[in-house]
Amino acid sequence: MYKLFVAFRYLTRNWLNLVGVAAVAIGVLVLVCVLSVMKGFDEEFRNRLRATLSDLIIEPYSEETFAGYEEMIAQIEALPHVVACAPRYDGLALIRVGKSRRYGEFQGVDLPREVKATDFGQYWRAWRGRAAREKLAEIARENGGDLAGVPRETLLDLLNRMRAEDFALLPKDLQARAARWAKENTVDLTAARRAAESAQPAWTPTDDPRFSPAFAGSELLVLGQSRDGKLVSLNIGDEVVVVSATDVFDGRVIRRCRIAGAYRSGLHDYDARTICLPLEDVQKFMGRPGHVTSLNVRLDSFANAPKVRALLMGILTSDELGRGIEMLRGIVGGADADLRRMETRLRELRAQEGNWWATGDFTVVVATAEIETALFRKIGAILRGEAGVKPSAADLEKMRAFQKAGMEREQGGIARKFRISTWEDKRRTFLRAVWIERRIMGFILFFVILIAGFLILSILHTTVLSKTKDIGILKSIGGSVGGIMSIFMLNGLLMSTVGAAIGAGIGLLIIKNINAIQDFLERLAGFSLFPKDVYYLDRLPVDKDPAMSILTICVISILVSLIASAYPAWKASRMDAVEALRYE
Amino acid sequence: MSDFLSVRDLVREYPQGETPLPVLRGINLDVREGEFLVIVGSSGAGKSTLLHIMGLLDTPTSGAVLFGDRNLTTLSEREQSRLRNTLFGFVFQFFHLLPDFTALENVLVPAMVGVGPLAWARRRKDAAERARSLLSQVGLSARLTHRPGQLSGGERQRVAICRALINTPRVLFLDEPTGNLDSRTGQEIQELIEGLNRRDRQTIVMVTHSDTAVKRASRVVRIHDGQILKA
Ligand SMILES: Nc1ncnc2c1ncn2[C@@H]1O[C@H](COP(=O)(O)OP(=O)(O)O)[C@@H](O)[C@H]1O
Ligand SMILES: [Mg+2]
């Protein structure tokens, strides 16, 4: 008990110790805040990158398109974990907007199914809500903050397009004013919001058969900037021309479209280059009715992607392969060379699966097929009695069952002749960049903790030097070498624990109130620290569930400090008590 | 052989160039239970060194410290620390109180040694009670929450004595306890120590230059040139 007592007293009675506490607190604070914002950005960035990709994307290997997709969709939707499946007809395109030409992509989508299988509908709604929000703010400004003079229809239309989230993002005073206006004019805001939330994108039909309705990415519509700085863009009903570049060698296919709406995913490349048309129109003008280029499959959770992919391809998952190998090991023994080879390959495969960013999607599938082949060949050999082992009847039964299950899986593979990627596979390079960046940032930030560690080391060293006499006294009243060592280790531990707790606490307060802090700073600085047009975000994103990362940061900083305390503490424990006690 | 504390053929040398410097050369001494043993000798004779070795603060080059029939010099460091805590009490010439702790806390620290936080929570009250009563016996009831820096030399030495007594040691070692005090205060401390021996039968081993102490001692040994001269 004296150790804790003495260590705690040193902490509170020594201003240097308090400096150590502050150092750890600042280190932890910086780490908590920076990592939290970075993680928030990452989440945001992942969503952006994903744009309208669903969990699994099924494409043919070599042909551009395939037919018979309706049956496939029905089969796929019957699989476990599958929520929805939507067909698409994508192609490279030249797009003429106004007088300029852009290269990009056209996407033939089946809207009702598309909104179920991808986030397409979300971007549509978000975009409409944002436009409505901005428009309302503009109107309020023009009218000097007063909404009374604005025509009822205009306001109603704007409010009807706003979801609860959009409404909450309005400036506080505007929210209050809009609410007051709604009350005075007996408009039910909740009903309006519900309507906005359930609004789905819809093609505005064009009566002219020469045109298709089209949704354009928000950036695609921007033609340029006028001299007074305003953006000039296309509007609903304007014409764009889509030229299929995919079939440029077979003769150009041209389709004229009218803008029926726009969407914004936040991924610039996507929003600037993509134009969506009704699937049937695309099939017709490409001359391939009943054909699509890909199927998009949404799952209940992305974590189930490997499982569903294995089902679709008719191959076993790595877990199932592992079970098969385990079974064989019980029959032929662990020393079997074939088995050893399979185990090695499986281990490599598992490492790859955990590191999709480092290897590649398809190597995983190829490796799985390879192990599977080897496994079944081995089972076949044993069953034919060529392997030189005499399995028991029960083992034979087990192997036959495994073989049968494998065969059934293979035959049940709905998309055996297709390439199946996850959305992460599709965006591998970007995701990898983000991942590496985050690692590097974490590594750099770790130095902050390291510096705090060094500070603790030197502070403790100074403390030890100034407490030589105390060490002698403590030994004379029964303190052992271990006891003295613990006192200074505890001193370091207290410094880092108290510091980490303070830092984590303040950090948590900051990230929970990041928006208020941002507002305050912006008012102070007089300009937007976080321009919407640069980031497409209204708010600094933060990690919504920071408990785990805060805990990690605290544990690491405490560990580092503990390591830093070890040397001074050891030094202290070796001090000669007699020497310290001999003199004044 | 004594059945209390004794030292046998104690040698202590300090490494110094080629030939080590001998400070104690073959000391044999028996301390009897309940006696007031005074050690005298000129400065640098090795008195403090002997006291430190007997109190397990220092290790001899050769020879043994015995308690009953146990050889204390061969015990582990942990075991020796435990004995320093429970068996012995130390009082030094320069008081040696912990400057960051109050008088009461200084007295209490030895009682905490080797006690876990939970056990301490249970025992704290009794220990504090005992510390308070010790301090009030030496007339310091009004000084409990003062730090050493706020106390006079005599007061500090009283606190140090209380600290040495808190775990009811079998032997109390005092190394020139009045050496750093003016004669009147020294006299008071001297009487306090004598009282401990007379009233409580506290075994005392004291190094001193004070003549009065020599007169009141039950036995006096003189150390000269690292050896004991029979008085
Ligand atoms: N660390 C040391 N190295 C060398 N000599 C020492 C050391 N410590 C003490 N001495 C010597 O040991 C001798 C005895 O010291 P000490 O026991 O303190 O004497 P006393 O208490 O009788 O005055 C002195 O001559 C002193 O110089
Ligand atoms: Mg001395």
A544 pLDDT more than 90: no
Binding site membership of B47 for ligand 1 (Cβ less than 6 Å): yes
The minimum CA-CA distance between A485 and chain B, rounded to whole Å, is 13
For residue A550, the Cα-to-chain-centroid distance in whole angstroms is 19
* Nearest-angstrom CA–CA distance, B182 and A286: 113
| Å between B18 CA and nearest CA of chain A | 22
Helical ranges in A286-427 per DSSP H: 305-313, 318-332, 337-354, 361-383, 393-412, 423-426
Tell me: pLDDT of A150 over 60.
yes
Q: Whose CA is nearest to atom 21 of ligand 1?
A: B48
Q: What is the pLDDT of residue A209?
A: 86
Report the share of chain B in percent with pLDDT over 70.
Answer: 98
C-beta of residue A61 within 8 angstroms of C-beta of residue A417: yes
Q: Which residues surround ligand 2, an ion (CB under 5 A)?
A: B 48
Share of chain A above pLDDT 90, in %: 28
Instruction: Give φ, ψ of A130 to 5 degrees.
Output: -65, -45
C-alpha of A463 from chain center: 46
Residue B93 CA to ligand 2 center (angstroms) comes to 8
Nearest CA in chain B to A469: B96
- pLDDT > 80? residue A64: yes
In terms of Cβ atoms closer than 10 Å to its own Cβ (0-12, 13-18, 19+), residue A60 is middle
**Of the ligands numbered here, which is closest to the C-alpha atom of B94?**
2
pLDDT of residue A333: 79
Nearest CA in chain A to B121: A1
A584–B94 CB contact, under 8 Å: yes
Using only C-alpha atoms, chain A has a radius of gyration, in whole angstroms, of 33
Read off the pLDDT of residues A93-123 as tens digits, 9 standing for 90 and up: 888 888 888 889 999 999 999 989 998 888 8
Give dist(CA A337, CA A23) in Å, integer: 57
Q: What pLDDT band is residue A157 in, cutting at 50, 70 and 90?
A: confident
The three-state secondary structure class of A93 is strand
Residue numbers in B near A13 (CB within 8 A)? 100
Q: Which helix (H) or strand (E) holds B134?
A: helix B117-137
Pick among B61, B72, B98, B176 to test the A interface (most A CBs inside 10 A)? B98
Of A457-466, A510-519, B70-79, which range is least confident?
A510-519
pLDDT at position A538 is 60
Region B129-149: mean pLDDT is 93
Q: How confident is the model at residue B230 (pLDDT cuts 50, 70, 90)?
A: low
pLDDT at position A328 is: 87
Contact predicate A293/A61, CB 8 Å: no
pLDDT tens digits, one per residue of B183-209: 899 999 999 999 999 999 999 999 998
Q: If you take atom 26 of ligand 1, which residue's CA is the nearest one? A: B44
CA-based nearest distance A562→chain B, Å: 21
Average pLDDT over residues B129-157: 93
Distance CA A53, CA B215 (A): 101
> What is the number of the ligand 1 atom nearest to the C-alpha of B223?
22
**B99: which chain A residues are within 8 Å (Cβ-Cβ)?**
470
Higher-confidence residue of B174 and A157: namely: B174
Q: Are A464 and B62 in contact (CB under 8 A)?
A: no
Q: Which two tokens stand for residue A279?
A: 């699937």
Domain-by-domain residue ranges, chain A? 2-47+449-581, 87-296, 314-419
A354 has pLDDT over 70 = no
Helix, strand, or coil (residue B224): strand
Does A473 contact B97 at a Cβ distance shorter than 8 Å?
Answer: yes
Count residue pairs from A and B with Cβ separation < 8 A.
Answer: 80
For the stretch A438-455, pLDDT in tens is 888 888 888 888 898 999
Separation of CA B94 and ligand 2 centre (Å): 11
| Predicted confidence (pLDDT) at residue B1 exceeds the cutoff of 60 | no
Ligand nearest to the CA of B93: 2
Whether residue A356 is predicted with pLDDT greater than 60 in this model: the reply is no
Inter-residue contact A36 to A278 (CB < 8 Å) = no
Span A497-515, mean pLDDT? 92
Residue A204 or residue A451, greater confidence? A451
Q: Are A102 and A94 in contact (CB under 8 A)?
A: yes
Average pLDDT for chain B: 92
Supply angle C-alpha B47, B49, B54, rounded to 5. 95
B98 → closest Cβ in A473, A480, A482: A473
Report the phi/psi class of residue B212: left, alpha or beta, with left for phi > 0 and alpha for psi in -120 to 50. Answer: alpha
End-to-end CA distance of chain A: 28
Q: How far apart are CA A312 and CA A56, in angstroms?
A: 10
pLDDT in tens, B90-131: 999 999 999 999 999 999 999 999 888 899 999 999 999 999
What's the token pair of residue A563?
A: 């390591």
pLDDT over 90 at B146, yes or no: yes
CA of B211 to the centre of ligand 1 (A): 23
Distance from CA of A453 to the nearest CA of B (A): 25
pLDDT category, A530, cuts 50, 70, 90?
A: low
Measured distance CA(B67)–CA(B47) in Å, rounded? 20
Tens digit of each residue's pLDDT (9 = 90 or more) over A1-44? 788 889 999 988 889 999 999 999 999 999 999 888 888 888 88
Per-residue confidence (pLDDT) for residue A536, from 0 to 100: 60
Q: How would DSSP label each residue in A461-508?
A: HHHHHHTHHHHHHHHHTT--HHHHHHHHHHHHHHHHHHHHHHHHHHHH
Span A391-412, pLDDT tens digits: 888 888 888 899 898 888 888 8
Taking the C-alpha atoms of residue A103 and residue A80, their distance in angstroms, rounded to an integer, is 39
Pocket test of ligand 1: the residue of B13, B14, B50, B175 to mutate, having most ligand atoms within 8 Å of its CB, is B14
In ligand 1, which atom is closest to the CA atom of B46?
Answer: 17
Show residues of chain B in contact with A478, CB under 8 Å. 81-82, 84-86, 110, 113-114
CB-CB contact of A413 with A372 (8 Å): no
pLDDT at B164 over 70: yes
Cα A202 to Cα A129, A262, A277, A290, distances in angstroms: 16, 11, 11, 22
First-to-last alpha carbon distance for chain B, in angstroms, is 21
Domain borders along chain B are 5-230
Structure tokens at A185: 């004019």
Q: What is this structure's pTM?
A: 0.74
Cβ–Cβ below 8 Å for A2 and B109: yes
Closest CA to B207 of B45, B69, B68: B45
Per-residue confidence band for A468, with pLDDT thresholds at 50, 70 and 90: very high
Dump the DSSP string for A527-540: S-SS-HHHHS-SS-
- pLDDT over 70 at A237, yes or no: yes
Give Cα separations from A580 to A314, A575, B47 (angstroms). Answer: 78, 8, 17
In the sheet that B21-30 helps form, which strands lie side by side, from edge to edge? B21-30, B5-14, B62-67, B70-71
Tell me whether residues A1 and B117 touch, CB distance under 8 A.
yes
Q: How far apart are CA A231 and CA A222, in angstroms?
A: 7
CB B167 within 8 A of CB B86: yes
Interface of A with B (CB under 8 A): 1-2, 4-6, 9-10, 13-14, 469-470, 472-483, 577-578, 581-584
Interface predicted TM-score of the whole assembly (ipTM), two decimals: 0.95
Determine contact, residues A296/A308, Cβ cutoff 8 Å: no
Average pLDDT over residues A355-375: 73
B12 in ligand 1 pocket by Cβ < 6 Å? no
Rounded distance, CA B40 to CA B206, Å? 9
Q: How confident is the model at residue A299 (pLDDT cuts 50, 70, 90)?
A: very high
pLDDT score of A248 more than 70: no
The 10 Å Cβ neighbour count of residue A409 is 18
pLDDT value of residue B69: 85
* Distance separating alpha carbons of residues A471 and A477, to the nearest angstrom: 10
Q: Average pLDDT of chain A?
A: 86
| A463 touches A14 (CB < 8 A) | yes
Q: Which residues of B touch A9 (CB under 8 A)?
A: 100-101
Cβ neighbours of B112 in A, within 8 Å: 1-2, 5
Chain B residues whose CB is inside 8 A of the A479 CB are 81, 113
The atom of ligand 1 lying closest to the CA of B49 is: 17
Substitution site in B10, B13, B23, B42 for ligand 1 pocket (most atoms within 8 Å of beta carbon): B23
| Predicted pLDDT at A529 | 67
- The reported pLDDT for the residue numbered A251 is 63
How many angstroms is it from B62 CA to the middle of ligand 2? Answer: 21
Handedness of CA A11, A17, A20, A22 (dihedral sign): positive
3-state secondary structure of A551: helix
Cβ of A9 within 8 Å of Cβ of B85? The answer is no
Cα B98 to Cα B102: distance, rounded to the nearest angstrom: 8
Contact A495, A17 (CB under 8 A): yes
Which pLDDT does position A415 carry in this prediction?
A: 79
Q: What CATH number is given for B5-230 in this structure?
A: 3.40.50.300
- Helix, strand, coil percentages (3-state) for chain B, rounded to 5, are 40, 25, 35
pLDDT-derived band of residue A183, with 50, 70 and 90 as boundaries? confident
In this predicted model, what pLDDT tens digit does every residue of B23-56 receive, in sequence order?
A: 999 999 999 999 999 999 999 899 999 999 999 9
Phi, psi of A238 (to 5 degrees): -70, 160
Contacts of A469 in chain B (CB under 8 A): 96
Ligand 1, atom nearest to B175 Cα: 21
Q: Which residues pair with A222 in a beta bridge?
A: A233
A485: chain B residues, CB-CB within 8 Å: none
How sure is the predictor about A361, in pLDDT bands with cuts at 50, 70 and 90? low
Q: Which of B97, B109, B168, B170 best tests the A interface by mutation, with the highest count of A CBs <10 A?
A: B109
B58 lines ligand 1 (CB under 6 A): no
Interatomic CA distance for residues B56 and A351, integer angstroms: 59
A581 vs B86: CB contact, 8 Å cut-off?
no
